[in-house]
Amino acid sequence: MSARESTSFSTIGPERLYRIVQEGQSIELIDVRTPGEYYSGHAAMAHCEPLDSLDPARIVAQAPSGQPIYLICRSGARSEKACAAFVAAGFGDRVVSVDGGTLAWDKAGLPMVRGRFVLPLDRQVRIAAGLLVLLGAGLGFLANPWFYALSAYCGAGLVFAGITDICPLGWTIARMPWNQTKGPGSTCCS
């Protein structure tokens, strides 16, 4: 089914997935980005199930029996995390990650639904972390040296996120109101 196999789930290129659709097969394509990111632009046949509230058992129960469940995000990293959640729940044989995500889908010229632009979550996290470091350094210099601890705390958080692939700042930003915006004809479950 896939061009390459991951350790526990399959992957597929966007063009190949779209050929499956053109052949008349109905697919279950789930976008695991935040609702705000989803509504800024998504593959035409995708529906939104944000990664932070993903329930593999519910999705498998609602999907047609035996049909693969394709997961897509911006570039492929979050859809692979979502696939890992399906694998951990015992449904690894049902999920397929779309290589390159929505960026690759769009680059291939495949059908997209476009809406209001929202910065991708990874860029929002980098901006927030950078602002926290600048704020700590500035306040440490101007007000009280204890504020340097904010910069150190943020640096430690980035190291923790890099080592563990767990990012509390990312989870927090994903829940911000601008990332929860629902567009017309909302099909996002959050």
Give the residue from 157, 172, 162, 159 showing the smallest Cα distance to 149: 157
Q: Where are the domains of the chain?
A: 10-114, 121-179
CATH of domain 10-114: 3.40.250.10
Chain mean pLDDT for the chain: 89
State yes or no: pLDDT of 3 exceeds 50: no
Residue 103 makes CB contacts below 8 A (sequence gap 6+) with 74, 75
Q: Distance between CA atoms of 49 and 189, rounded to whole angstroms?
A: 6
| Span 33-51, average pLDDT | 93
Residue 158 makes CB contacts below 8 A (sequence gap 6+) with 129
Q: Which of 73, 83, 154, 167 is catalytic?
A: 73
Give the residue from 167, 68, 62 showing the smallest Cα distance to 124: 167
State yes or no: pLDDT of 185 exceeds 60: no
Active site annotation includes 73: yes
C-alpha torsion 84→86→88→89, nearest 10: 170
CA 95 to chain centre: 15
Q: What is the pLDDT of residue 58?
A: 94
pTM above 0.95, yes or no: no
State yes or no: pLDDT of 36 exceeds 90: no
